Amino acid sequence: MEPDSVIEDKTIELMNTSVMEDQNEDESPKKNTLWQISNGTSSVIVSRKRPSEGNYQKEKDLCIKYFDQWSESDQVEFVEHLISRMCHYQHGHINSYLKPMLQRDFITALPEQGLDHIAENILSYLDARSLCAAELVCKEWQRVISEGMLWKKLIERMVRTDPLWKGLSERRGWDQYLFKNRPTDGPPNSFYRSLYPKIIQDIETIESNWRCGRHNLQRIQCRSENSKGVYCLQYDDEKIISGLRDNSIKIWDKSSLECLKVLTGHTGSVLCLQYDERVIVTGSSDSTVRVWDVNTGEVLNTLIHHNEAVLHLRFSNGLMVTCSKDRSIAVWDMASATDITLRRVLVGHRAAVNVVDFDDKYIVSASGDRTIKVWSTSTCEFVRTLNGHKRGIACLQYRDRLVVSGSSDNTIRLWDIECGACLRVLEGHEELVRCIRFDNKRIVSGAYDGKIKVWDLQAALDPRAPASTLCLRTLVEHSGRVFRLQFDEFQIISSSHDDTILIWDFLNVPPSAQNETRSPSRTYTYISR
């Protein structure tokens, strides 16, 4: 047997043999065009015209015979050598031939190797649109998606990461079908496959309701005996706790709207409050801070420090900050309801400190002296002042780098806390902006003009967005000054000088309101983060 190198040389020689032109053939250039193929330093002239079928078939069979005798590495080396002698046109044909051969259906291949779980894990990272497309690839992909319950896993992932999905799952009741350990504990994949578009439709309806101002309104009449007005509130799924001008704290059932309990003890109006699962903390115009048991309503502690009305307070993770008409800010260590000690008093404002907010990095305060001051949470040292409002500042919220403030100059300002820059001024209210809250999508403000305005936060942070597009909707139902509001993805709850608490429900909107022809000023598409 001849050595492989000799066989290879003969094969290449056969491949490179020029075909002599047939004397009887037409001498058209198209049939006899020759081109030069560069091969290192040498070149050969090859005819594009295929030899006669008989010779070609014999020569091809002989090449294949030699090729089959070689080892895999020799075959690869030979093909590389052969390809290097071809022109670009031929390379294109070979590439088109190889492409489908190089593709591998790994999703189908994995279960064949007993690795279904890996195939499921790969496809579980797909979004809804991609998962729909994957189902159409082939029956095996569809089987992996179905048996892996990937639509269920997609919904669970959204519920874990998006508060809108989480809240919707609780309110619509489909959270009962999620996070089951055994597949037999719940419905099949097809149930979740059909549930997903219904969820998206619900979300789009909610967003449209916010933009169009469509809502279901519920009203709590507080029926204060003497002085009327609800200065502050906080709510959860079960209850609303409100602080009233008549010195009382009233706890309301959020479903029935009935008053469950009245807490008394303050000798002045209840101006601010916050509660958690253990305690309610209230501040009053009687200059005291009181701590109450959230379940029993018993007074657990009374803090006497400020010289004038306690205008606002916040507590979290063992720290409490209070502010007062006496121009000071008090920072407290809150080990328990009965063990609260004063850490530091912050002095710097030249008028009443109307509001405070804080996180692990900064304490932020706003005052009637037209300034916002930033302090270090850990050291209580002064950091910087934010200047810009033309009159006193009544309300503020701080989160991450963003501070949003409302003032008696009737404007709302957005600030970058790190550099102190004013990012945007929102105009629209006709009187003092008394309360303000924001989340990732929107700002909601209430003012002494009796109006609640909903603003597009993302547009407000975009300097290119026209000012006319920022206010999405103005809600007018209160007959007095709006003192306080809070909101979530589904509702706004507000209180007013008119002695009412209003619940603006954007989820459970009656069909008659849904059919209203009012349209939003701009189109909004829900995007999951």
**Domain ranges across the chain:** 104-176+184-209, 211-509
Provide the pLDDT for residue 110: 81
Provide the pLDDT for residue 3: 57
Phi, psi torsion values for 108, nearest 5 degrees: -75, -35
- Residue 302 CA to residue 172 CA, distance in Å, equals 42
Calculate mean pLDDT across residues 451-463. Answer: 97
Provide the pLDDT for residue 12: 58
Q: Are the C-beta atoms of 164 and 491 separated by less than 8 Å?
A: no
Would you tell me which CATH number, out of the four given (1.20.1280.50, 3.40.630.10, 3.50.50.60, 3.30.1240.10), belongs to the domain 104-176+184-209? 1.20.1280.50
Task: Express each pLDDT in 174-185 by its tens digit.
Answer: 999 998 876 666
Task: Express each pLDDT in 36-55 by its tens digit.
Answer: 433 443 344 344 455 556 68
Residue 410: both structure tokens together: 């009737």
The count of residues in the chain is 529
Residue 180: both structure tokens together: 């089951």
* Confidence check: pLDDT of 15 > 70: no
Residue predicted with more confidence, 103 or 374: 374
Provide the pLDDT for residue 524: 29
The model's confidence at residue 113, banded by pLDDT at 50, 70 and 90, is: confident
Residue predicted with more confidence, 482 or 525: 482
Alpha helices, H only, 408-509: 457-460
Any idea what the Cα angle at residue 277 is, between residues 160 and 395, rounded to 5°? 85
End-to-end CA distance of the chain: 69
Provide the pLDDT for residue 529: 28
Residue predicted with more confidence, 494 or 24: 494
- Residue 179 CA to residue 186 CA, distance in Å, equals 9
3-state secondary structure of 309: coil
Provide the pLDDT for residue 19: 36
Task: Express each pLDDT in 74-106 by its tens digit.
Answer: 999 999 999 999 999 999 999 998 888 887 787
Calculate mean pLDDT across residues 348-359. Answer: 98
Residue 277: both structure tokens together: 């699962």
What is the dihedral sign for C-alpha 209, 210, 211, 216?
positive
The model's confidence at residue 27, banded by pLDDT at 50, 70 and 90, is: very low
- Residue 154 CA to residue 158 CA, distance in Å, equals 6
Residue 323: both structure tokens together: 């502010």
Hey, which residues does 517 pair with through a beta bridge?
none
Task: Express each pLDDT in 485-497 by its tens digit.
Answer: 999 999 999 999 9
211-509 maps to CATH 2.130.10.10: yes
Hey, which residues does 375 pair with through a beta bridge?
363, 382
What is the dihedral sign for C-alpha 297, 303, 307, 312?
negative
Alpha helices, H only, 173-258: 189-212
CA neighbor of 495 nearest in space, from 302, 252, 156, 319:
252
